[in-house]
């Protein structure tokens, strides 16, 4: 259950987080799509026990969100709609009105939805009670907002703001690389994205490259800003940070991943709990410290 991405939110009303419990989550559990639903979402057990919808490990709470999305390609809908229109016009021996065509489209959708395959996705939600944060394991703000909207609706309110600092993050990352600053235990990785803030579409992607090389510095001297930057934390994790302060492509070192290998995978509850404790401790420390680094650069 180690996170692969992290969109981090800070909570201004910590009392609300205390209201998240098993009873509340029972009201917003996942329910499969009905005959006319194109998508559904809700919470499921993080340890495959329907009676346990949350895992609390020393002030760190883990939730699991499940979605079902009906697979309905627009080309399939369009073709079925055209065929139904042609068939009806031939039957009535006249052209259909715009309203009649719209009605037929609704009928087509209902028919296709009932026969469509489903795509299922799962997302971890980590509530960091110690740092008053909510972290969603996804790379899309739309997905994270959909998940949090369900929690917010059930709680009545949930004041969250994406993790941020006072200065543009791309400016801070650019300064770090350009001035070759040193902030242990962090080191710069071998991946970055550069953009020209004036041209807008001038993008350079760098992989497997020395980030502080003369070539990179020349790009920065010409006015380009770093909008994505790989950062390595010597405590066992690396990630790519973007200008929105989202953590992507999170990778934990084998030394971290192997720490709980003595717990059999068959004991899922114990393994998830142990992995979550390890992951939350490692990533929480890294998030706190990288934010402090950025504030120093400002």
Residue 237 domain-assigned (yes or no): yes
Which pLDDT score, from 0 to 100, does residue 13 have? 84
Judged against a pLDDT cut of 80, whether residue 94 lies above it is answered with yes
Which pLDDT score, from 0 to 100, does residue 200 have? 62
Which pLDDT score, from 0 to 100, does residue 169 have? 96
In this structure, the answer to whether residues 176 and 280 fall within a common structural domain is yes
In this structure, the answer to whether residues 287 and 187 fall within a common structural domain is yes
Confidence of residue 201 (pLDDT cuts 50, 70, 90): low
Which regions of the chain does DSSP assign to beta strands (E)?
Answer: 7-11, 39-44, 55-57, 60-70, 118-128, 133-136, 160-162, 186-195, 203-207, 225-233, 237-242, 247-252
Residue 212 domain-assigned (yes or no): yes
Residue 222 domain-assigned (yes or no): yes
- pLDDT tens digit string along 160-184? 999 999 999 999 999 999 999 999 9
In this structure, the answer to whether residues 105 and 176 fall within a common structural domain is no
Confidence of residue 212 (pLDDT cuts 50, 70, 90): confident
Which pLDDT score, from 0 to 100, does residue 222 have? 86
* C-alpha separations of 133 from 36, 56, 128, 139, 268 in Å: 36, 15, 5, 17, 26
Residue 234 domain-assigned (yes or no): yes
Question: Can you spell out the DSSP letters for 201-245?
Answer: S-EEEEESS-TTSHHHHHHHHTT-EEEEEEEEETTTEEEEEETT-
In this structure, the answer to whether residues 98 and 176 fall within a common structural domain is no
Residue 49 domain-assigned (yes or no): no
Percent of the chain with pLDDT over 70: 99
Judged against a pLDDT cut of 70, whether residue 64 lies above it is answered with yes
Mean pLDDT for the stretch of residues 195-215:
83
Residue 155 domain-assigned (yes or no): no
Residue 21 domain-assigned (yes or no): no
Q: How far is CA 215 from the centre of its chain?
A: 33
In this structure, the answer to whether residues 249 and 176 fall within a common structural domain is yes
- pLDDT tens digit string along 7-47? 999 998 888 999 999 999 999 999 999 988 999 999 999 99
In this structure, the answer to whether residues 188 and 286 fall within a common structural domain is yes
Residue 160 domain-assigned (yes or no): no
Confidence of residue 217 (pLDDT cuts 50, 70, 90): confident
> What's the whole-model pTM score?
0.91
In this structure, the answer to whether residues 107 and 187 fall within a common structural domain is no
Last residue within a domain, chosen from 115, 148, 178:
115
In this structure, the answer to whether residues 78 and 198 fall within a common structural domain is no
In this structure, the answer to whether residues 291 and 214 fall within a common structural domain is yes
Instruction: Tell me which residue range forms the domain holding 108.
Output: 74-115
User: How many structural domains comprise the chain?
Assistant: 2
The C-alpha angle with vertex 266 and arms to 265 and 269, in degrees rounded to 5, equals 80
In this structure, the answer to whether residues 174 and 105 fall within a common structural domain is no
Question: Can you spell out the DSSP letters for 7-42?
Answer: EEEEES-HHHHTT--HHHHHTTB-----TT-SEEEE
In this structure, the answer to whether residues 189 and 252 fall within a common structural domain is yes
Confidence of residue 202 (pLDDT cuts 50, 70, 90): confident
Mean pLDDT for the stretch of residues 264-283:
94
């Amino acid at each position: 259950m180690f996170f692969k991405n992290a969109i981090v939110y800070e909570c201004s009303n910590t009392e609300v987080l205390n209201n998240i419990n098993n009873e509340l989550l029972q009201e917003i559990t996942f329910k499969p799509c009905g005959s006319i639903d194109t998508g559904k979402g809700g919470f499921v057990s993080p340890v495959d026990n329907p009676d346990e919808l949350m895992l609390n490990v020393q002030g760190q709470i883990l939730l699991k969100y499940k979605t079902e999305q009906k697979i309905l390609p627009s080309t399939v809908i369009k073709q079925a709609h055209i065929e139904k229109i042609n068939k009806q016009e031939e039957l009535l021996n006249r052209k259909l009105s715009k309203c009649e065509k719209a009605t037929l489209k609704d009928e087509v959708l209902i028919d296709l939805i009932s026969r469509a395959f489903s795509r299922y996705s799962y997302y971890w939600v980590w509530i960091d009670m110690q740092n008053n944060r909510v972290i969603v394991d996804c790379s899309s703000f739309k997905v994270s907002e959909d998940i949090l909207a369900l929690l917010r609706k059930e709680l009545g309110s949930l004041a969250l703001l994406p993790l941020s600092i006072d200065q543009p993050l791309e400016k801070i990352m650019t300064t770090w690389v350009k001035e070759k600053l040193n902030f242990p235990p962090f080191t710069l990785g071998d991946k970055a994205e550069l953009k020209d803030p004036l041209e807008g579409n001038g993008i350079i992607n760098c992989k497997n490259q020395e980030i502080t090389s003369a070539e990179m510095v020349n790009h920065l001297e010409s006015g380009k800003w770093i909008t994505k930057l790989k950062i390595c934390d010597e405590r066992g994790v690396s990630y790519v940070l973007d200008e929105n302060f989202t953590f992507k492509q999170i990778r934990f070192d084998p030394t971290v991943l192997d720490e709980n290998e003595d717990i059999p995978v068959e004991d899922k509850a114990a393994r998830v709990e142990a992995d979550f404790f390890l992951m939350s401790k490692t990533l929480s420390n890294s998030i706190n410290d990288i934010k402090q680094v950025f504030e120093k650069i400002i």
